[in-house]
């Protein structure tokens, strides 16, 4: 669709939404959680009433602020990291206490307005590449603690890099339309039908953790429909697939034990699996630093979410004889190149080499991640619990498109796995994608 076509669609959509809202909006049906539940949730807060700066440090880790606000080789929180979007590149801001180039002149109120309302100090709309649609759920005391922590850090003088968004996305006031469609302002409200652990997990995962930002499909405006949240999504430009975190059995957390998810978020590896790509960074910068009971709360919440069908299917179908050829060749490639680590029974080696048998990353509809791991190789993150992770070498030079398609077709159809074949053309497509 042309740029102007998109603008027209947005304007029409906004008008329709506004009209519907005016007709159907009613007073909120919201039921406040009982005081006892609120007290139980508060008791789960691991940093309790401790020093506000220490508390803010923990919360900033839970929000992975540094994941975006530190450029490679740059100073912590000084920004300048290019955040790619389908509309162009947005650069993260300097959020150190430097008064001129950072947020040193921001009051706790200004800071709260950024997190809660998605607005800068001058009131201008911030772009949703900054995950304020999630951070809006943070409570005021938590926002104040993060502010206090950031203000306690060394000031770094570093001017912000101007964004390079294409027109019309470069026009900030147009974010108003996006906000009408996809942004609901509001602090997380406890759900009285659920227990305290679930609520703590929902607060962290849907707010600071902003898991939704990657694990959901986005439409052509970069918006996420409520109904699609956490059902799995492609990550812009970097081009990885973040699988469903709902209880979906094929692509989600349906068959996982809560403790398995906790171990993965804490150590980067569980007995059977390992995280890779952008999730390795999330574990490295954020989740490994969280207390286990907070990870437990998040995993409990995620596992309770009803399964949502993922819309990401393999791009290519293969015919019967092609499939048989792929399987034959694949079993040979596997024996020569992969079995040394992942073992001939696909069970891997506990905490060193992930199992490929019954591994959701291997059998889910989307084949992007498996293709990219084989082409590019990878390391799980180094964490306190697993400081020197074992890695996987890249096979881009060693294996042809047919070899990679064959070995993955074999892996997707052995040891109880059952999934559609991978076509050589799919492998060729992801060869061209840069690692970052
Ligand atoms: C996914 C990437 C990402 C994460 C994670 C992230 N930010 Fe940002 N942040 C950005 C980008 C990009 C901008 C610039 C937005 C713009 O130009 O409109 C920004 C802007 C801001 C601003 C406004 C600064 C200004 O000068 O206008 C503040 C404040 C901020 N972020 C604080 C935080 C805090 C606190 C956290 C962690 C809780 C955080 N950010 C996590 C990407 C991120
Ligand atoms: C920057 C994007 C990003 C963010 C933010 C993110 N994830 Fe992920 N996540 C991914 C990608 C990509 C994968 C696929 C790679 C892998 O399995 O390691 C993944 C995989 C996972 C897996 C493994 C699932 C499976 O089926 O193999 C879990 C569990 C997970 N993420 C949990 C979370 C939680 C919980 C949060 C929020 C605290 C979160 N993620 C935030 C990108 C992200
Ligand atoms: C030297 C040992 C080694 C070899 C050889 C190896 N792998 Fe891996 N593999 C690993 C490690 C370690 C990981 C975890 C990587 C990460 O977390 O970034 C992994 C991850 C994977 C994954 C992602 C699964 C997950 O949950 O993390 C797939 C798919 C995979 N390998 C397939 C293969 C195939 C196919 C081959 C042969 C072409 C192969 N591997 C060869 C060690 C190896």
The token pair that represents 189 in the structure block: 């409200």
Q: Which sequence spans correspond to the domains of the chain?
A: 3-26+42-187, 320-431
pLDDT at 18 over 50: yes
pLDDT of 3:
65
361 vs 187: CA distance, rounded Å? 33
Residues 6+ apart with CB under 8 A from 372: 239, 240, 277, 430, 433
The token pair that represents 373 in the structure block: 């791991």
pLDDT of 313:
60
Residue entry with tokens 């956490």:
230
pLDDT at 283 over 80: yes
pLDDT of 247:
87
- Using 50, 70 and 90 to split pLDDT, how confident is the model at 251? confident
Count Cβ neighbours within 10 Å for each residue of 419-432 and write b for 16 or more, e otherwise: bbbbbbebbebbee
How far is C-alpha 77 from the geometric centre of its chain's CA atoms?
20
pLDDT at 11 over 70: no
**Which atom of ligand 3 is the closest one to the Cα of 333?**
38
pLDDT of 49:
62
Count Cβ neighbours within 10 Å for each residue of 98-121 and write b for 16 or more, e otherwise: beebbbeebeeebbbbbbbbbbbe
289 vs 384: CA distance, rounded Å? 9
Ligand nearest to the CA of 67: 1
163 vs 65: CA distance, rounded Å? 19
* Residues 314 and 422 sit within 8 Å (Cβ to Cβ): yes
- Using 50, 70 and 90 to split pLDDT, how confident is the model at 234? confident
pLDDT of 26:
45
pLDDT at 24 over 70: no
Q: Nearest to residue 146, comparing CAs of 137, 138, 134?
A: 138
Q: What is the dihedral of CA 399, 311, 65, 86, to 10 degrees?
A: 80
CATH code matching the domain that covers 320-431, chosen among 1.20.210.10, 3.40.50.300, 1.10.760.10, 2.60.120.260: 1.10.760.10
pLDDT of 187:
96
Lowest mean pLDDT across 133-137, 179-183, 230-234: 230-234
How far is C-alpha 162 from the geometric centre of its chain's CA atoms?
25
pLDDT of 273:
94
CB atoms inside a 10 Å sphere around CB 328: 12
142 vs 198: CA distance, rounded Å? 19
Exposure on the CB side of residue 166, measured as CA atoms within 13 A: 10
pLDDT of 316:
60
pLDDT at 377 over 90: yes
Q: Nearest to residue 241, comparing CAs of 148, 353, 361, 131?
A: 361
pLDDT of 150:
98
Average pLDDT value for residue range 296-300: 97
pLDDT of 32:
80
Ligand 1: residue whose CA is nearest its atom 7: 130
Average pLDDT value for residue range 394-417: 96
pLDDT at 25 over 70: no
Determine the distance separating the centroid of ligand 3 and the alpha carbon of 408, expressed in angstroms.
11
Determine the distance separating the centroid of ligand 1 and the alpha carbon of 93, expressed in angstroms.
6
Determine the distance separating the centroid of ligand 2 and the alpha carbon of 177, expressed in angstroms.
29
């Amino acid at each position: 669709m042309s740029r102007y076509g998109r603008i027209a669609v947005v304007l029409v959509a906004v008008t329709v939404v506004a009209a519907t809202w005016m007709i159907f909006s009613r007073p909120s049906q919201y039921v406040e959680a009982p005081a006892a539940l609120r007290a139980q949730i508060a008791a789960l807060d691991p940093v309790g009433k401790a020093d506000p700066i220490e508390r803010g440090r923990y919360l900033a880790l839970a929000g992975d602020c540094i994941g975006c606000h530190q450029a490679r080789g740059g100073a912590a929180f000084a920004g300048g990291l290019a955040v790619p979007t389908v509309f162009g590149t947005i650069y993260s801001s300097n959020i150190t206490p430097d008064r001129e180039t950072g947020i040193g002149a921001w009051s706790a109120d200004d800071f709260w307005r950024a997190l809660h309302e998605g607005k800068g100090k001058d009131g201008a709309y911030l772009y949703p590449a900054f995950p304020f649609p999630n951070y809006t759920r943070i409570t005021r005391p938590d926002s104040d603690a993060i502010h206090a922590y950031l203000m306690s850090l060394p000031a770094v003088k570093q001017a912000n890099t101007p964004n390079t968004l294409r027109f019309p996305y470069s026009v900030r006031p147009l974010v108003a339309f996006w906000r009408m469609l996809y942004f609901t302002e509001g602090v997380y409200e406890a759900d009285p039908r659920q227990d305290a652990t679930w609520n703590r997990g929902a607060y962290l995962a849907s707010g600071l953790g902003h898991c939704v930002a990657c694990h959901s499909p986005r439409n052509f405006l970069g918006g996420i429909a409520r109904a699609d949240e956490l059902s799995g999504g492609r990550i812009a430009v970097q081009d990885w697939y973040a699988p469903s975190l709902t209880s979906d059995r094929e692509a989600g957390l349906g068959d996982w034990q809560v403790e398995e998810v906790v171990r993965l978020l804490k150590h980067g590896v569980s007995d059977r699996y390992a995280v890779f790509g952008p999730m390795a960074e999330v574990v490295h910068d954020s989740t490994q630093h969280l207390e286990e009971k907070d990870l437990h709360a998040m995993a409990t919440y995620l596992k309770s979410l009803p399964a949502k069908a993922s819309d990401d299917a393999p791009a290519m179908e293969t015919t019967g004889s092609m499939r048989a050829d792929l399987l034959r060749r694949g079993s040979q490639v596997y024996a020569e190149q992969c079995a040394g680590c992942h073992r001939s029974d696909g069970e891997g080696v506990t905490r060193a080499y992930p199992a490929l048998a019954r591994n959701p990353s291997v059998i889910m509809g989307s084949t992007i991640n498996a293709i990219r791991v084989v082409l590019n190789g990878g390391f799980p993150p180094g964490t306190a619990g697993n400081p020197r992770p074992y890695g996987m070498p890249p096979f881009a030079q060693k294996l042809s498109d047919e070899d990679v398609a064959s070995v993955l077709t074999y892996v997707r159809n052995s040891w109880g796995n059952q999934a559609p074949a991978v076509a050589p053309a799919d492998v060729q497509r992801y060869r061209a994608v840069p690692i970052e």
